[in-house]
Amino acid sequence: MSASPFRFDNTYARLPGFSAPWSPASVPAPDLLYFNRALALELGLDPDVLDGPDGAAIFAGNRVPEGAEPLAQAYAGHQFGGFSPQLGDGRALLLGEVIDPSGARRDLMLKGSGRTPFSRRGDGKAAVGPMLREVLIGEAMHALGLPTTRALAVAATGETVHRERPLPGAVLTRVAASHLRVGTFELFGARGDTDRVRQLADYAIARHDPDLAGTSDRALGLLRRVAQRQAALVAGWMNVGFIHGVMNTDNVTISGETIDYGPCAFLEAYDPDAVFSSIDHGGRYAYRNQPPVTRWNLARLAETLLPLIAAEDSKEAMSEAIRQATGVIDAFPEWYEDALLTGQRAKLGLHGGDDATDRALAGDWLALLHDHRVDFTLGWRRLADAAGGNEGPLRTLFSNPQAPDAWLTRWRTRAGGEGDAAADWSERAERMRRVNPAVIPRNHRVEEALAAASDHGDLGPFRRLLAAVQRPYDETPEQAEYLTPARAEVTACYRTFCGT
Ligand code: AMP
Ligand code: MG
C-alpha cells in the first residue's frame, strides 16, 4: 500500500480562526457497511485499497490517513427563523481536501466521528440508519441530476448510540464541493468581523467562482452566483418532489449542493402543503415553502456581505450596497421561476414556447394531480407513457379516468405544435422518460431498508433499493416493486426526524 490512499491538498486548515483542529474518536469494531467504488474512481482514489479493513479503519475514524488535517468547522445559523450564534461541526470533522482527476477540489468529511468543541449537549455520534439514509438519498439525487453531497463510505463502529432507543453506531464519509454554508458567513457577520467575512468570501470565490477573483464587485458577484445556484437547486427539488425538511441556513451551501439528508422525504400523492418533519410544526419547510424560504436564507447571506459590497465605510455607500444586494434577492424569484419552467417544459416534453402559456399548462397539470391526490412521480412518468400512445396507466391514477381529458387535449395541441407525427410523439415520450423518473427513494422503502440494516444487520434491502434508485429512469422488471407508492394512510402518518 502506498503511504496514503489520499493525496490531500488542504486549504481550509490554512485559514486561521475558521475551525478547530480535532481528532476523530476511536471506536471498537470498524466494519465497512458501504463503500462507493464509482465515487472513489471519480475522486481518483484506488477502490481496492480502501474497500476493506484499511478503509474501515479510516472511514470509522480509527486511522487518520497521512496528509489529513482533521478539523471541526465553525459556523452559526438561523434555525427555524431564530439565530444560533454558535453551531459548528458538533459531530463531523473535515479530514481534508482532494483534487479529483478533472481538477475539481472536494472535501472529505467524517460525520459521527465523536464530540468536538462544537458539540454542545450532543454525543458527537451517528447511527447506522441515518447514515445509510445519506447514502440512499444522496445517490438518488445524484442519479436524478441534482447537485448533492455524496457518501463515499459508511463504517459501522461496533458502538451503541443512545437515541429514543439503543442503536448501532456508524460514521459516514461525505464528499462535497465544499462545506461552506450560509451559516459560516453568519458566524463572522454576526460578530462584525468584516475581515473574516472578506477572507471567507475570497476563499469561497477561489473554490466556486474563480472567475470573480480580484474583481472589485466580487462580493455582490458571489451573492448573485449563490442565489442562482440555489434557484436552480430548489427548482430541481420541486421538479422531483423532494422536501428537504430542515432548510436552516447552516444547511444551505455556497456551492449549491444539497446537504444534510435528515428529515427529508419525497412527495407521494401531490400536495404542495406536505410536511413530514416531526419538529416542523408551522410548516416553515413545507414543500411549497422551499422557494420563498431559500430567498429568506439568501437574504441572511446578503446581510453578512453588505460591508464588503459597500465601496467604502460611509452611510451613502452602505445604502447603495443595500440597494444592490436587495436587487439580487429580488431577482431570485425570477431565476427560480425560470429554472422551474425549464424543468417543467422538459417534463412535459416541450421545447421553448410562450412562457405564460407553458406555466399555465404546468400549473394546471399540478392542480389536477392535487385535486385527485395523484402520486407526483407516477403522474409525470405515466404522462410520458401517454405521449407514447399508452394512456391507460395514466388514467388509472385518477379515481375518474376521464378527469385528465380536458388537460390532455390542451397538452396534445401545445406539444403537437412542435411535431405531431407518430415519430415525433415517440421521440417525445423517450425524451420525457429521461427526465421523469420511474424510481425515487420512496419513504416507506427507505425506512424498510434502514430498519433491516439497523435492527437485523441485513443490508440486502438497502443494497437492492440503492441499485434501483441509481437507475431512476429505467423501468425494468427488477425496478417494478420500487415504483409503488405507500398506501395513503402510511404516507399520511409518515414522520421524519432531525438530529439522528
Ligand atoms: P443538523 O440539524 O443535523 O444540521 O445539525 C445542527 C447542529 O447540531 C450542527 O451543529 C450539528 O453538528 C449538531 N449536531 C447534530 N447532532 C449532533 C450530535 N449527535 N452530537 C453533536 N452535535 C450534533
Ligand atoms: Mg447540518
φ, ψ (nearest 5 deg) of residue 457: 65, 20
**pLDDT tens for the 500 residues of the chain, in order:** 456 899 999 999 999 999 999 999 999 999 999 999 999 999 999 999 999 999 999 999 999 999 999 999 999 999 999 999 999 999 999 999 999 999 999 999 999 999 999 999 999 999 999 999 999 999 999 999 999 999 999 999 999 999 999 999 999 999 999 999 999 999 999 999 999 999 999 999 999 999 999 999 999 999 999 999 999 999 999 999 999 999 999 999 999 999 999 999 999 999 999 999 999 999 999 999 999 999 999 999 999 999 999 999 999 999 999 999 999 999 999 999 999 999 999 999 999 899 999 999 999 999 999 999 999 999 999 999 999 999 999 999 999 999 999 999 999 999 999 999 999 999 999 999 999 999 999 999 999 999 999 999 999 999 999 999 999 999 999 999 999 999 988 888 999 988 66
**Cα of 353 from ligand 2 centre, angstroms:** 40
How far is Cα 14 from Cα 238, in angstroms, rounded to an integer? Answer: 38
Select which of 107, 202, 209, 250 is catalytic.
250
Record the cell numbers describing residue 496, joined without a space. Answer: 421524519
CB of 262 shorter than 6 A to ligand 1: yes
The answer to whether residues 160 and 168 touch, using CB atoms and an 8 Å cutoff, is yes
Q: Which residue shows C-alpha cell 475514524?
A: 61
CB neighbours (10 Å) of residue 289? 19
Amino acid 1: pLDDT: 46
Q: Are 457 and 223 in contact (CB under 8 A)?
A: no
d(CA 300, CA 294) in angstroms, rounded, equals: 10
The pLDDT of residue 137: 98
Residue whose CA lies nearest to ligand 1 atom number 3: 499
Phi, psi (degrees; rounded to nearest 5) at 272: -60, -20
Residue 123 is labelled as binding a ligand: yes
What cell does 107 get?
472535501
Determine the distance separating the centroid of ligand 1 and the alpha carbon of 201, expressed in angstroms: 24
> Cα of 230 to ligand 1 centre, how many Å?
23
C-alpha 450, offset from chain centre: 19
pLDDT for res 498: 81
455 is catalytic: no
Q: Indicate whether residue 138 lines ligand 1 (CB < 6 A).
A: no
Ligand 1 site-directed mutation target among 71, 111, 113, 119, most atoms within 8 Å of CB: 119
Report the alpha-carbon distance of residue 312 to residue 315 in Å, rounded: 9
0.95 exceeded by pTM: yes
